[in-house]
């Protein structure tokens, strides 16, 4: 509904929608009640009038026309049925009671069967609204017309009184319904207040996760918020560990250089200058490695990533960083295919695996992206020297470096492993067909905690 302002409070929106709807429905029910009541009352009266005409017809056929005078002049018919009637046999007219005579005598003059209703000015008899049933027949050679009528004034008064009482009861029920709607909205939105309090507790540092007994509609939101908090904590921990590792690795060569420069008794000969230059080159390579890893880890952009596009961008960047090596991408995915992984995490995995392959490959490295109904897979294979079978199990552990001659700190594969496991997957290592290392990162399509 575009006419509803999304910034309006939920309570106000619900009240705006439900209260007028309740009033309209209750009013419609009251109107329908009046129409049905009038229809039922009219049907009941018409059936009674037809039954009484049939009874009088039966009496005429049974007793004969000469005996009907006793019925007409007596009060038997009126006491039993409480209705007025008029009877014309030939030219003779009999009616009862006398109050209805001016009204009924004109009706029996017509020989047409059916209902007759009058709603108009009050007659001399004091009757303004009535309904009558007239039936014409032939009995023993004489034309006979029977009319039975009922005054509708009393019935309409009772009907209106019942309708008024219905309106009063409907009003009371409407007030109770409005109170019930208001109370239901207030109780339903109590969970929003609890969620707000939980967020304030997070902001103040009193808690580290949202522990809210929220309804089923809010459970995905709470789960996503907790997952976001987990992701932020893991990134903070990873950043601190990387900073600590970088500080430790830089501290040693810096201390060595400082000692040489502070020693006044030693001269800086050619060999010493080369050693200092080598130490500075080590520091530069370490800093460049961390900066490269930072560039690989792109900005966070939600819970969906485009693996083909990101892989191509990283392969182009690695081609610039390693101009003497060839990087290829093999995949059957569409260019706009999306994976349920944060762009930051996917960049971390792709960047670290490709950077590792770029360091160890001799001429080329190949990345493949595959997807099944339940699993997402990233495979990177290089043509480097590979890893011995006994050392495969040690790969992915933080700080593990199998060859100190290659710059690095043993963090890239460990970071990729941590992210992969967070998405319910695993990082596996094996010997590739190209002779080098083959790394496969497999993740579930529906990661745990989502």
The torsion angles phi and psi of 377, rounded to 5 degrees, stand at -135, 140
Nearest 10 degrees: Cα torsion 358, 362, 364, 369: -50
CA distance linking residue 267 with residue 300, whole number of Å: 52
Q: Helical H runs in 64-74? A: 68-73
Question: Do 409 and 401 meet the contact criterion of CB atoms below 8 Å apart?
Answer: yes
In order, the DSSP letters of 231-300 are HHHHHHHHHHHHHHHHHHHHHHHHHHHHHHHH-TTS---HHHHHHHHHHHHHHHHHHHHHHHHHHHS---
pLDDT of residue 199: 78
Enumerate the domain spans of the chain: 11-157, 297-450
Residue 187 Cα to chain centre, angstroms = 19
CA distance linking residue 187 with residue 74, whole number of Å: 71
Cβ atoms within 10 Å, residue 38: 15
Length of the chain measured in residues: 450
Q: Do the strands 326-331 and 364-371 form a parallel or antiparallel pair, or are they unpaired?
A: parallel
Residue with tokens 């502070």, as numbered in its chain: 262
The torsion angles phi and psi of 449, rounded to 5 degrees, stand at 90, -5
The DSSP call for residue 339 is B
Cβ atoms within 10 Å, residue 392: 16
Residues contacting residue 58 through CB under 8 Å, at least 6 positions apart: none
pLDDT of residue 449: 41
Cβ atoms within 10 Å, residue 213: 9
Taking only the tens of pLDDT, the chain with its 450 residues reads: 555 566 667 777 788 888 888 888 888 888 888 888 888 888 888 888 888 888 878 877 776 555 655 555 555 555 555 678 888 887 888 777 777 778 888 888 888 888 888 775 555 556 778 888 998 888 777 788 888 888 877 777 888 888 888 888 888 988 888 888 888 888 877 777 777 777 777 776 677 777 767 777 777 877 888 888 887 777 777 777 767 666 666 665 676 677 667 767 666 677 777 767 776 776 776 666 665 555 444 434 345 789 999 899 888 888 877 888 899 999 999 999 989 888 878 888 898 898 888 888 999 999 999 999 889 999 999 998 888 887 787 786 754 544 444 444 346 788 888 888 888 899 988 888 888 899 999 998 854 444
pLDDT of residue 231: 79
pLDDT of residue 197: 79
Residue with tokens 């970071």, as numbered in its chain: 415
CA distance linking residue 413 with residue 403, whole number of Å: 14
CATH level 2 (architecture), domain 297-450: 2-Layer Sandwich (3.30)
Distances (CA, A) of 370 to 163, 311, 331, 405, 424: 73, 13, 6, 33, 17
Give me 406's structure tokens: 């290659």
CATH level 2 (architecture), domain 11-157: 2-Layer Sandwich (3.30)
Distances (CA, A) of 390 to 191, 360, 414: 55, 18, 18
Q: Do the strands 375-382 and 426-431 form a parallel or antiparallel pair, or are they unpaired?
A: unpaired
Phi/psi class of residue 364: alpha, beta or left (left: φ > 0; alpha: ψ in -120 to 50)? beta
Give the helix/strand (H/E) hosting 155. helix 152-188
The torsion angles phi and psi of 95, rounded to 5 degrees, stand at -145, 155
């Amino acid at each position: 509904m575009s006419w509803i302002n999304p910034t309006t409070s939920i309570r106000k929106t619900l009240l705006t929608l439900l209260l007028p709807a309740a009033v309209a429905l209750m009013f419609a029910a009251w109107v329908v009640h009046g129409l049905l009541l009038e229809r039922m009352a009219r049907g009941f009266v018409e059936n009674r009038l037809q039954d009484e005409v049939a009874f009088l017809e039966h009496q005429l056929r049974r007793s004969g026309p000469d005996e009907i005078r006793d019925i007409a002049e007596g009060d038997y018919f009126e006491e039993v049925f409480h209705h007025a009637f008029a009877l014309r046999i030939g030219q003779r007219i009999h009616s009862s009671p006398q109050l209805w005579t001016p009204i009924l005598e004109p009706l029996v003059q017509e020989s047409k069967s059916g209902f007759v209703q009058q709603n108009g000015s009050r007659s001399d008899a004091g009757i303004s609204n009535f309904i009558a049933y007239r039936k014409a027949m032939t009995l023993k050679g004489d034309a006979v017309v029977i009319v039975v009528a009922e005054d509708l004034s009393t019935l309409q008064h009772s009907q209106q009184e019942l309708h008024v009482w219905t309106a009063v009861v409907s009003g009371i029920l409407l007030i109770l319904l409005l109170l019930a709607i208001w109370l239901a909205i207030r109780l339903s939105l109590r969970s929003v207040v609890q969620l707000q309090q939980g967020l304030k507790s997070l902001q103040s540092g009193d808690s580290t996760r949202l522990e809210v007994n929220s309804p089923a509609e809010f459970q995905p939101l709470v789960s996503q918020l907790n997952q976001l908090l987990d992701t932020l904590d893991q990134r903070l921990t990873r950043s601190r560990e990387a900073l600590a590792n970088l500080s430790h690795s830089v501290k040693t060569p810096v201390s060595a250089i400082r000692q040489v420069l502070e020693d006044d008794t030693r001269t800086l000969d050619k060999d010493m200058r080369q050693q200092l230059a080598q130490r500075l080159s080590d520091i530069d390579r370490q800093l460049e490695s961390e900066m490269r890893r930072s560039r690989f880890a792109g900005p966070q952009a939600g819970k969906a990533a485009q693996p083909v596009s990101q892989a191509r961008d990283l392969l182009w960047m690695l081609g610039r960083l390693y101009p003497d090596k060839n990087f290829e991408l093999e995949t059957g995915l569409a260019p706009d295919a999306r994976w349920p992984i944060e762009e930051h995490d996917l960049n971390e995995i792709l960047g670290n695996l490709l950077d590792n392959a770029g360091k160890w490959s001799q001429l080329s490295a190949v990345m493949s992206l595959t997807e099944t109904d339940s699993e997402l897979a990233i495979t990177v294979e290089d043509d480097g020297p590979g890893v011995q079978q006994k050392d495969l199990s040690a790969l992915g552990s933080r700080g593990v470096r199998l060859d100190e001659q290659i710059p690095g700190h043993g963090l890239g594969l460990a970071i990729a492993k941590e992210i992969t496991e967070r998405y319910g997957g695993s990082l596996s290592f094996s010997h590739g067909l190209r002779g080098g290392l083959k790394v496969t990162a497999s993740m579930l399509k529906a990661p745990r905690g989502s």
